[in-house]
Amino acid sequence: MDEDTVVRVRGIAATIRRFVRMGWVEEVGNGQYLTTGPHPRVPFEEPPPASPKATEVDPYSLRGLQMRGYYVMAGKTHDEDRVMIGGGYFRITEARKHGLI
């Protein structure tokens, strides 16, 4: 943990450097920090913010079927894309129509 580490103290997230300036955290040596007050403790490290939500993949697209464990074969057009079911390749549109995937 260094001075640029983001931690949460008393419900507020900031760097250790900022909390040291405010007097809420003190360095006790060897790069260790404790909160001030009646019950000193090591400040909780704040996890980095969540990344933006990934775009959803159509479960019946080539990529979506691959992610679900199917073998696929790209055709010249979207209607000619095929998926392997039971050892044979079927058009994705027909496999969906007949409930195979």
Residues 65-83 have pLDDT tens digits of 999 999 999 988 888 999 9
* 51 contact partners, CB below 8 Å, separation of at least 6: none
With a CB cutoff of 8 Å and minimum separation 6, the contacts of 74 are 62, 81
Q: pLDDT at position 11, please?
A: 85
- The pLDDT of residue 44 is 87
Q: Is the pLDDT of residue 54 over 80?
A: no
Domain residue limits, the chain: 6-45, 62-97
pLDDT value of residue 47: 82
Tell me which H or E stretch contains 97. helix 92-97
Over the stretch 1-45, which tens digit does the pLDDT of each residue have? 788 889 999 888 899 999 999 999 998 888 789 999 888 888 888
- The count of other CB atoms within 10 Å of the CB of residue 20 is 15
